[in-house]
């Protein structure tokens, strides 16, 4: 992608909180990715399976062989051109909403980061711990500087749980969903083609509906930061 186009996307994210770029991955690359995921041992504790959802936490730690396919030249160029060269990966998760999934997610912001331990630090909290994984709400400036990339392994629209967002809500600090004033705010549905990506600021208010068209929605969600954490606290999945 040309630098001019990268600038357009960067400006769109800074202003609106998100952007969509289709055709980042070829049909062949998507096939390779899905084949690797299909053939993994899903009995580990980072894997979550229910009728409504299959998820892999710490995705790149669990499937390191997939890293080079996903961080292809195309994606690296986008990360450097849109985020900046100082950004590194801090979190990864794979979601599969099956065809009959009734999984519905209400409007929310992503307010926590994944870290290696729980320690008392000023301005860090509340904390949650799941299966020995630690998440904490950091100071606002850390959240404001983060980006997330969602890689779509299927065509996604409003009928199979595409994300809905409130444009510009990422620049309003901590924004409680119950205080959304729909007389002034708008909602946008983020349709993404198979092999495309959505880039978003984690602070944008976002939600997704249940699947109604019997089609899968598989997404790889990766978060990035350019900030080092204070004292001995570390990002749990840091990857340069």
Q: What is the pLDDT of residues 79-125, one digit of tens each?
A: 999 999 999 999 999 998 877 777 789 999 999 999 999 999 999 99
Instruction: Name the pTM for this structure.
Output: 0.95
How does residue 20 score in pLDDT terms, banded at 50, 70 and 90? very high
Report whether pLDDT(47) > 90: no
The rounded distance, in Å, linking the Cα atoms of 239 and 90 is 7
Domain ranges of the chain: 3-225
Helix/strand/coil for 67? helix
pLDDT at position 30? 98
The rounded distance, in Å, linking the Cα atoms of 119 and 125 is 10
Which residue's entry shows tokens 């997330």?
148
Residues 215 and 160: beta-carbon distance below 8 Å? yes
Nearest to 1 by CA among 30, 24, 29: 24
Residues 224 and 142: beta-carbon distance below 8 Å? no
Chain-centroid distance of CA 21 in Å reads 14
Report whether pLDDT(175) > 80: yes
The rounded distance, in Å, linking the Cα atoms of 132 and 21 is 35
The rounded distance, in Å, linking the Cα atoms of 147 and 67 is 18
Kindly report which listed range (40-44, 84-88, 196-200) carries the lowest average pLDDT score: 40-44
Architecture of domain 3-225 in CATH? Sandwich (2.60)
Strands 54-57 and 206-208: unpaired
Residues 220 and 92: beta-carbon distance below 8 Å? yes
Count of helices and strands (H, E) across the chain: 6, 14
Q: What is the pLDDT of residues 122-170, one digit of tens each?
A: 999 999 998 778 999 999 999 999 999 999 999 999 999 899 999 999 9
Cis, bond preceding 126 (omega within 30 deg of 0): yes
DSSP state of 80: I
Q: What is the pLDDT of residues 230-239, one digit of tens each?
A: 988 999 999 9
Long-range contacts of the stretch 76-80 (C-beta < 8 A, 24+): 77/1, 77/6, 78/1, 78/6, 78/9, 78/21, 78/24, 78/197, 78/199, 79/149, 79/224
């Amino acid at each position: 992608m040309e630098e001019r186009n990268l600038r357009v996307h960067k400006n769109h994210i800074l202003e609106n909180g998100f952007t969509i770029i289709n055709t980042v991955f070829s049909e062949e690359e998507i096939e390779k990715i899905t084949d690797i995921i299909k053939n993994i041992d899903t009995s580990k504790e980072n894997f979550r399976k229910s009728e409504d959802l299959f998820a892999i936490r710490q995705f790149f730690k669990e499937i390191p062989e997939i890293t080079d396919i996903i961080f292809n030249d195309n994606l690296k160029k986008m990360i450097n051109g849109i985020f900046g060269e100082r950004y590194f990966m801090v979190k990864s998760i794979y979601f599969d909403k099956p065809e009959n999934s009734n999984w519905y997610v209400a409007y929310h912001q992503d307010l926590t980061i994944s870290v290696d331990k729980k320690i008392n630090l000023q301005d860090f909290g509340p904390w949650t711990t799941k299966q020995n994984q630690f998440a904490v709400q950091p100071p606002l400036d850390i959240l404001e500087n983060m980006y997330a990339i969602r890689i779509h392994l299927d065509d996604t629209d409003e009928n199979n749980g595409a994300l809905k967002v409130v444009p510009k809500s990422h620049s309003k600090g901590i924004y409680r969903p119950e205080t959304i004033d729909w007389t002034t705010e708008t909602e946008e549905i983020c349709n993404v083609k198979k092999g495309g990506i959505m880039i978003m600021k984690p602070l944008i208010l976002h939600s997704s509906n249940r699947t109604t068209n019997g089609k899968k929605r598989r997404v790889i969600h990766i978060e990035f930061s350019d900030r080092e954490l204070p004292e001995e606290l570390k990002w749990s999945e840091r990857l340069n």
